Structure 1
Amino acid sequence: MNTFKRLVQYSKPYWWRFVISMAASFGVGGTDAALAYLVEPLMRKIFTEKNMMIFMMLPAAIMILYVFRGICRFLQDYFIRTAGQLAIQDIRNEIYARTMGLALRFFQRNPTGVLMSRIMNDVGSMQDGVANVVTGLLRDGVTAIGLLGVIFYRDWRLAIISFLVIPVTAVPAQKIGRRIKNLSKQSLGRMGDITSILQETFSGIKVIKAFGLSEREVTKFRATNRDYYHYIRKTYKYDALNAPSMEIIMAIGIAAVMWFGGKAVLKSHMTPEEFFSFVVAMGMLYSPIKRLLNSYSAVQRAIGAAERVFEVIDERPEITDPAQPVPFDRASGNVELRNVSFRYGDDYVLKNVSLTARRGEVVALVGPSGAGKTTVVSLIPRFYDVTDGAVLFDGIDVRQLRLDDLMRQIALVDQETTLFNDSIADNIRYGKTDASDAEVEAAARAAYAHEFIMEMPEGYATNIGDRGVRLSGGQRQRLCIARAILKNAPILLLDEATSALDTESEHMVQKALNNLMKNRTTFVIAHRLSTILHADRIVVLERGEIVESGTNDELLARGGLYRKLYDMQFGAAETPA
């Protein structure tokens, strides 16, 4: 019930739509009750009293009544469904907004496909449930109340007999509904697995084809799809059991009414017209009650989906703004890691790391894979919070700054070259959303991207496709650099920005990076040592600890780990092919 109440809360802003729908529901319910009530006097007037005037007017009256009912039905369905859609839209907006506010650790725990499934499939299941329950409560509830009034007016004894079976139908409906809710949650989980496979295979299709593993992926997809069918089949089974079980119970009530009512007519305690009117009303009554009970299954599916959606909405962000943030406009560029330790789980990735970068300095981070280089760069913008110690900008702990203020100080260029399915101009403008066309072009020129952009079919208006698929690696990287140049942040983070490029592309990108690094405090992660030989300071990490620090010449002279890495790279380069 708590989940259901919470679900209904989202409908409150659209109360006026519910009011219109409710008023129309009274029209629908009132029409059904009036039809059932008028059966007896009409039959008496036409067949007993032979009133031909009423007989002649009856077709027109029926047409008018059903036109009125149709208008009411349209208003009720339209306004209740639009209200439900708007409520679901709010839920989908909220889950997306909440997800965007969560830390990177959350996205590491939850695959992209699963999150996509919760936002699309789970919320869609909630929409079906909301539409069913609200429509049922309004239309079928009002209709049932009106018809109950008719049958109690006609004969309260027969009404009690027919009414006794209604509570009994709730027993199987409740048990079946509970089972459907659990199966719905499990089937939605399997649908999340299917979405995850689709996302992975479509984004990695080049690798799959290159290794000839298409058939393996198809087999995996079929197995997951079969697993989903296993759960959805059970849901269908219980759904299919719902209606017959209720109809069998209702048949008992109908049989009892026919028995006792028939005896009453034979003993002249009741006229045939009254009995027929009662039977018509009772038959009409069972239909909305059956729909109400059927909607219970839809509600249970919606609650199962809602519980999964609310799990994401209720996820507490690990990285939040401080209660009393320190006002911060623009950093001068002094960055310090003071006795920083960090762990993802039980194992420490960084141990007591202390590092200072002064304004305008270029600090390079090198070391073997898994040494903690990317973790250092991830702690500076608070993608994660340190386990111990502190990261400081101009002497202020970054945890004391608003996240928006913090992010304005940082520009990031990493090896993933994240671009969006949009125009070139808008991808560059991601660094400054209100930038003019002239500013965008200036940033592109500084990133050595203007020339190839102008060769594109529509220049800066060219759509680059999903993840920039229409561009080469070097072109994508230069657009990312242009985006960072446009942001004009005082602190720059470069995470292996040239690691995946060929020599020619690397040369162009390195020229663009040199423009980007001017007058900025820069942290560089580079596997290619040739790109950081002139760094102001090279910090060597191993197993989460700083083992060496100095300039290229100083570190080579010491003959430590850096010298070993240097000899491995440059020695291999000088070996004849």
Structure 2
Amino acid sequence: MGLEKENVKSGDIIDTKVLKKLYQFVTPYKPRFYFLVLLTLLLAVLAPSRPLLIQIAVDDYVAMGDAEGLLRIMYFLLGLLVLHALVQFGHTYLSGWLGQVIIRDIRIKLYRHLLKMRLKYFDKTPIGRLVTRNISDVETLSDVFSQGLAEIIGDLLQLVSILAVMFYVDWKLTLVSLCTLPLLVVSTYVFKEKVKVSFNDVRNAVSNLNSFLQEHITGMNIIQVFNREEREYEKFKAINEEHRRAHLKSVLYYSVYYPVAEIIQAIGIGLVVWYGATGVFDLQIKVGVLISFIMYLQLFFRPIRMIADRFNTLQMGVVSSSRIFTILENSEQIPNEGNHAPEKIKGNISFEKVWFAYDQEDWVLKDINLNVRHGETVALVGATGAGKSSIINLISRFYDINKGAIKIDGTSVSSYELPTLRKHVGVVLQDVFLFSDTILQNITLGNPEISREQVMHAAELVGARKFIERLPGGLDYDVRERGGTLSVGQRQLISFVRAMVYDPEIIILDEATSSVDTETEELIQEAIEKMMEGRTSIIIAHRLSTIQKASKIIVLNKGEIVEEGTHEALLKHGGYYSQLHQMQLKSMAVS
């Protein structure tokens, strides 16, 4: 068992196309977004104000022995600190709030988009990867708004405002202060590039881990049946090791970069102190100016150290956005362009020269012509891969045909509103899926219009009422994940109730009794006949004994109809169906 690993590389730091697409999610919250921009500007202006006030306090009041003036400026400084704290709080809270509401909207839109995708898309896309897109990748986007773009803009504005004040106060001391800046810029750039690669490796590793775990936990019974535990364990260890190595790389880069940045900053402050002290001794520079420049440098170097992290946060947000928009822009959806929405249908079904292929190359159905009249029971038989399940998938438009036409009551299925079409077609599949919820919710699927009485009536009809009433809580019994607390036969019976409770005019049974024992099959066979009364019914069955009463039997082989007729007529014909029947009789005799 293997799973294709994901390996997505980072793109540009500022991908304007992606950012424009993200901005459409900001549009509903423009007033708050613009207020956030205003707070960012205020923070940039307030950043250099404290060192400037301290410089004034030292040079104009402390040096002059003006205690009253010093007290006034201390009050002013205190008020400024309170204002700065309030603005910082508003900025942090608003950027976080904006990030959360936007990822909520994106996650909802992404999930809604996935609900409309063709089944073909899920056939070829690992579910774990889609979970990563909807959870981890969307979560990363919140950092773009709370720690990425807004913080980068704020840091850059703060740097500009600090530099402007520094040059205004003393341009020579400013140039000395910036001597170590090239070293910090180079080290920051190298760090950013290294961490960008490691972060991208981490994201790929997380996606691969999710995909692997989802697939292998779901298929745990196969792993254990074929004694593959150790082999799959070794595969997981290898993927997990990739994840660990990617994380440790980023840890290594951080552990090197921050001490280097601290040393560079310390050297810069040392140069300022040396040059400034010389100026103080020569009475060229005031003490307050020297003190303020030490503070300016600390304020100046802090955003430069952080800006690498900000850029990488933005980078990962852009990568995650690209992945998400790849799904959102995927047009592999079933078009719901029909407007035919009748309250009731008769259930006449016709296939007219239908051709269908899953991959546009290998035809699964070839020139199928089929008519099922209202109230008829038609059975589809044939070897595995003959095209039986494809026919029923096409009726409900889980897939669309390549050529030909499928009509219900003379109207093409593509002309029906998709929800209306599927409301009129009840499907019971061989592989029954139950959600981790109560029996009632699994039958009604949350439809408030279906009462408990209707559910129990349908359960009575298909012979499921007795076993439901014996369960603790009855309809309120929690079946757990995938219905793990129920037997295969019980899950199948619940699927019958689920189909019946919606009262469809067309019933489709896809190997619906193949998973139940003979006793249970006999129990529900009569119920199935009642269920099909007055309805158009299509049955797929391997057990030919279950379809002998069908109005018509369609025999498929390699995507083509090779025989058609009643059970007796096909046996007399002595063709493909007769051979299948003889083979099943022999196998039953041997068993």
TM above 0.5: yes
Instruction: Report if aligned partners of 1:173, 1:296 keep a CA contact under 8 Å in 2.
Output: no
Question: 1:244 and 1:105, CA in 2 relative to 1: closer, same or farther beyond 3 A?
Answer: farther
Q: Among 103, 127, 146, which residue is 2:118 paired with? A: 103
Aligned to 2:356: 342
Aligned residue pair count? 575
Per-residue deviation, residues 517-575 of structure 1 (Å, max 9, x unmatched): 22111111111111111111111111111111111001111111111111111222234
SS, match of residue 356 in structure 1: strand
Instruction: Report if aligned partners of 2:53, 2:77 keep a CA contact under 8 Å in 1.
Output: no
Instruction: Report if aligned partners of 1:424, 1:462 keep a CA contact under 8 Å in 2.
Output: yes
SS, match of residue 433 in structure 2: coil
Matched, 1:437 2:439: no
Instruction: Report if aligned partners of 1:177, 1:300 keep a CA contact under 8 Å in 2.
Output: no
Structure 2 CA distance for aligned equivalents of residues 147 and 355 of structure 1: 79
Instruction: Report if aligned partners of 1:474, 1:509 keep a CA contact under 8 Å in 2.
Output: no
Aligned to 1:332: 346
C-alpha displacement at 1:194, in angstroms? 1.3
Aligned to 2:7: none
Aligned to 1:224: 239
Matched, 1:195 2:192: no
Aligned to 2:371: 356
Instruction: Report if aligned partners of 1:364, 1:523 keep a CA contact under 8 Å in 2.
Output: yes
AA paired with 1:319? Answer: I
C-alpha displacement at 1:139, in angstroms? 4.8
AA paired with 1:384? Answer: Y
C-alpha displacement at 1:141, in angstroms? 4.5
Matched, 1:400 2:423: no
SS, match of residue 540 in structure 1: strand
Q: Among 520, 530, 544, which residue is 2:535 paired with? A: 520
Question: 1:536 and 1:432, CA in 2 relative to 1: closer, same or farther beyond 3 A?
Answer: farther
What is the TM-score with the length of structure 2 in the denominator? Answer: 0.89
Aligned to 1:131: 146
Q: Which moved more, 1:537-546 or 1:1-10?
A: 1-10
Structure 2 CA distance for aligned equivalents of residues 560 and 181 of structure 1: 66
How big is the alpha-carbon RMSD for the aligned residues of Structure 1 and Structure 2? 2.9
Structure 1 CA distance for aligned equivalents of residues 219 and 104 of structure 2: 31
Per-residue deviation, residues 466-503 of structure 1 (Å, max 9, x unmatched): 11111111211111111111111211221111111111
C-alpha displacement at 1:320, in angstroms? 0.6
Matched, 1:466 2:466: no
SS, match of residue 479 in structure 2: coil
AA paired with 2:538? Answer: F
AA paired with 1:38? Answer: L
C-alpha displacement at 1:18, in angstroms? 3.3
Question: 1:62 and 1:195, CA in 2 relative to 1: closer, same or farther beyond 3 A?
Answer: same
AA paired with 1:330? Answer: K
AA paired with 2:148? Answer: V
Q: Among 100, 105, 113, which residue is 1:90 paired with? A: 105
SS, match of residue 511 in structure 1: helix
Aligned to 2:4: none
AA paired with 1:108? Answer: D
C-alpha displacement at 1:259, in angstroms? 6.1
Gap runs ≥5 in structure 1:
none
AA paired with 1:569? Answer: Q
Q: Which moved more, 1:325-334 or 1:483-492?
A: 325-334
Q: Among 73, 78, 87, which residue is 2:88 paired with? A: 73
C-alpha displacement at 1:440, in angstroms? 2.1
Instruction: Report if aligned partners of 2:571, 2:578 keep a CA contact under 8 Å in 1.
Output: yes
Aligned to 2:435: 420
Aligned to 2:406: 391
C-alpha displacement at 1:465, in angstroms? 0.8
Gap runs ≥5 in structure 2:
1-14
Q: Which moved more, 1:22-31 or 1:441-450?
A: 22-31
C-alpha displacement at 1:148, in angstroms? 3.2
C-alpha displacement at 1:338, in angstroms? 0.9
AA paired with 1:133? Answer: G
SS, match of residue 547 in structure 1: strand
Instruction: Report if aligned partners of 2:99, 2:141 keep a CA contact under 8 Å in 1.
Output: no
C-alpha displacement at 1:207, in angstroms? 3.7
SS, match of residue 382 in structure 1: coil
Aligned to 2:586: 571
SS, match of residue 10 in structure 1: helix
Q: Which moved more, 1:471-480 or 1:171-180?
A: 171-180
Q: Which moved more, 1:165-174 or 1:424-433?
A: 165-174
C-alpha displacement at 1:219, in angstroms? 1.5
Question: 1:255 and 1:314, CA in 2 relative to 1: closer, same or farther beyond 3 A?
Answer: farther
Per-residue deviation, residues 300-355 of structure 1 (Å, max 9, x unmatched): 11112221121111111242123x64454432101111111112222111111111
Correspondences of 1:427-576 after superposition (within 5 Å): 427-430=442-445, 432-575=447-590
Correspondences of 1:111-150 after superposition (within 5 Å): 111-137=126-152, 139-150=154-165
C-alpha displacement at 1:294, in angstroms? 2.5
